[in-house]
Chain A
Amino acid sequence: AQSVAQPEDQVNVAEGNPLTVKCTYSVSGNPYLFWYVQYPNRGLQFLLKYITGDNLVKGSYGFEAEFNKSQTSFHLKKPSALVSDSALYFCAVRDSNAGNNRKLIWGLGTSLAVNP
């Protein structure tokens, strides 16, 4: 069965420190992986995605994520956190082998708090 896990409900980091938001997945075929961010009272904004190719993907606002096939992970990272990065982060996966049932499977979200 397809699934996504974000093992941490909340991540706290100090401004200027590196941040990592974790995501692991399970699909039967090759994964299409996505990260979205949601600021308070807003919709979701796309950050980055992995489809194929280079395992390190760079996205918006200085974020990047590394696809690790052996660990089935797609952790979101940023070298230096900003207070404005505080938001809810969602990881999502789509199974490339799911035929017509290629719905996005969403993680439960991780709340990131960056402290000044």
Chain B
Amino acid sequence: EADIYQTPRYLVIGTGKKITLECSQTMGHDKMYWYQQDPGMELHLIHYSYGVNSTEKGDLSSESTVSRIRTEHFPLTLESARPSHTSQYLCASSPRVGWHTEAFFGQGTRLTVV
């Protein structure tokens, strides 16, 4: 099992609420990623970070924001949740050394906005 953790696993929340999805890894990885995935569908990269104080937007435009103040922590925030944000969010990390290394994924957070 990879040492990358996401909380909560499931979240049902009302429209307009602010939410933060947590992602932490204990492997000392510099690179971290957030993906959005509808059930059984493709992965869309929404944010990534190559180290502390480094964040970039991914290929899919997202209203969420991220921060990387500590190496091990990469939270994703939605200031005002909407039903269109309903999806599964997957966090991943990989080591800094080499682009040939595989990514390790958390269990995911399934978000439902009602």
Contact = CB atoms under 8 A, between A and B. Distances in A.
Interface of A: 32, 34, 36, 41-46, 49, 51, 88, 90, 94, 96, 102-104, 106-109, 111
Interface stretch (B13-21, B75-83, B99-107): B99-107
A96 B41 CA distance: 26
B46 to A, nearest CB: 12
B74 interface: no
B66 interface: no
Contacts of A103: 45, 48, 58-59
The majority secondary structure among interface residues of chain B is: loop
A32 B100 contact: yes
Contacts of A32: 99-100
A34 B103 CA distance: 10
A111 B48 CA distance: 27
A46 B103 contact: yes
B43 interface: yes
Given A90-B43, A108-B42, A111-B40, A42 B108 contact: yes
Contact of B102 (A41, A43, A49, A108): A49
A94 B103 CA distance: 12
Contacts of B42: 106-109
Interface in B61-114: 90, 92, 99-100, 102-108, 110
